Amino acid sequence: MQNLDLNLLVVFEAIMTERSMTGAARRIGMTQPAVSNAVARMRQVWNDPLFVKQGRGIRPTPYAERLWEKTRAPLLEIRDAASGDQFDPGKSGRVFRIGVTEYPVDMLWLPLRKLLEQEAPGVSLHSVPLHGNTEELLLDASVDLVIHYYVGRHRQIRSSWLFNNHLVCAVRPDHPMIQSLKSGDMLPLEDYLAADHLMVSLTGAASANVDTILRRQGLVRRVAMTVTHFAAIPPLLMQTDLVCVTPQAVVARAVKAGDLIIVPLSFEIEPAPISLVWHSRQDRDPGSIWMRKLISDFATTESRRLADYFLQG
């Protein structure tokens, strides 16, 4: 420990987070030559190349990845302990990394950014893709927070309910499947099962909550197409015979414009609770508490606004 320069770990953390020498220099307020000099010292101290060029960026060596796994959580704890109990949003340059899917980004990022520009111009908000790995991202400190459906019970993971994700079945107005239905009629189960279905899949699996409900009744549907983002749903539904059960906010504008309609189903789909999730190490962190409150407040406001918008449509 006597010969260990902890400043090297700070530079190392910045490089591993940004995966770029330039980005790391900007992140910690150093010149790029100073970062390069620090990397040269790291290589000498740890007897490993640590980073190799890959295209326009860099790729950590296996040794660097192992070192990162062991040091990032302790570094966060040291930083939190040294920062004291005060957090001044107006003066902070903190970067919040949030694990999130496309739907909450569309819902929350604009109002959050407007507030940050006014009250915390130095604070950055970086979204990190989710692939069903909420606990993994939080346990290894890859993210500060996660916004997602979470029902886990890990003793170090905390969660707080944000809003209910209401699901609806959407199709184009001239879809052949619904031409014989009167307004307000439920779609017969056999017609729903016979349709070609569209769904968003973050993991590549062609199965969702709807399929679980159907399997309990010994039924299956055909998922004819999957996509990785919600923005693809409205245009696909408008121009094909696909059927999709999706969060209502995803299709609200298309429904209001008359490009899509909602069809009541003959079985109930419970809304999925969306939660704000974090690691217990950040329970008392003032910055995390501040960001969690912002997200909670905006989630309440935006979920109500979008629900009203949908109902008016």
CA 34/CA 46 separation, integer angstroms: 18
Residue 188's SS3 state is: coil
Q: What is the pLDDT of residue 87?
A: 83
User: How many alpha carbons fall within 13 Å on the CB side of residue 221?
Assistant: 28
CA 140/CA 68 separation, integer angstroms: 9
CA 23/CA 20 separation, integer angstroms: 5
Q: Which of 158, 162, 161 is nearest to 282 (CA)?
A: 158
Residue 216's identity, in one-letter code, is R
Q: What is the pLDDT of residue 83?
A: 62
State the pTM of this model: 0.70
Helix (H) / strand (E) containing 255: helix 248-256
Q: Which of 275, 250, 140 is nearest to 200 (CA)?
A: 250
Q: What is the pLDDT of residue 160?
A: 94
Q: What is the pLDDT of residue 70?
A: 80
Q: What is the pLDDT of residue 80?
A: 61
**pLDDT tens-place values along the chain, 313 residues long:** 445 677 888 899 888 877 888 888 887 888 888 899 999 999 998 999 999 987 777 889 999 988 887 887 777 667 666 666 678 899 888 889 999 988 889 889 999 999 999 999 999 999 998 887 899 888 877 889 999 999 888 888 999 999 988 899 999 999 999 998 888 789 999 999 999 999 998 778 888 889 999 999 999 999 999 998 899 999 999 999 999 999 888 898 899 899 999 999 999 998 889 999 999 888 888 899 999 999 999 998 888 776 665 555 4
**272 and 164 Cβ atoms separated by less than 8 Å:** yes
